Amino acid sequence: MSNTRKALPWIVTGIALVLVVTVVVGEEATDEDLKKAALTPPVVPAEAKQQENPFAWNADARKKGALYFSSQCVMCHGADGRGTGDLVERLSLTMPDFTDPEMQKKWTDGAMFYVINAGHGAMPGQKDRFDPEIKWGMVNYVRSFANDD
């Protein structure tokens, strides 16, 4: 497979993210606007924060979550969850460090699930895109970054 064919999915993903940023933040968005949106904590409704993870630490759900995270989230959040994906610098984004136990303590599973559904800043929401089991699996996978397992 040629290098161009290998790079094509990343190029398409990058273009899609730029389009999403343009739609979410607006055509006149500056780098500073993107940073501000990323640094502003999302508003998560109380009922979402309290939502229980029906797949908490389910190995199959976590495996599905890892698969989707590696194909949909790493470009920004990084393969290691530190928020240093390939697009972070290019799009002037600020990502959370999922390996930080203090960061993880601040978030309930329900709040993470809510942000995956609704999106935040330049991150598009995935409400209608993935089954709930996959999204809960992503939550479980994100949790694993700070748990060394």
Asked if residue 83 is part of any domain, the answer here is yes
Whether 41 maps to a domain, the answer reads yes
CATH code, 103 = 1.10.760.10
In a domain, residue 149? The reply is no
How high does pLDDT run on average in the chain?
82
Confidence (pLDDT) at 20? 46
- pLDDT given for residue 73 in this prediction: 95
Convert the chain into a string of H (helix), E (strand) and C (coil). CCHHHHHHHHHHHHHHHHHHHHHHHCCCCCHHHHHHHHHCCCCCCHHHHCCCCCCCCCHHHHHHHHHHHHHHCHHHHCCCCCCCCHHHHHCCCCCCCCCCHHHHHCCCHHHHHHHHHHEECCEECCCCCCCHHHHHHHHHHHHHCCCCC
Question: Is 56 part of a structural domain of the chain?
Answer: yes
pLDDT tens figures, 131-140: 999 999 999 9
Selected residue with higher pLDDT from 91 and 20: 91
Model-wide pTM > 0.75: no
Question: Domain range holding 121?
Answer: 3-144
Q: Please count the structural domains in the chain.
A: 1
Q: Is residue 27 part of a domain?
A: yes
pLDDT digits (tens, 9 = 90+) for 22-67: 444 445 667 676 666 666 778 999 999 999 999 998 899 999 999 9
Q: Look at residue 105 and tell me if it is in a domain.
A: yes
- Asked if residue 98 is part of any domain, the answer here is yes
Residue 107 domain flag = yes
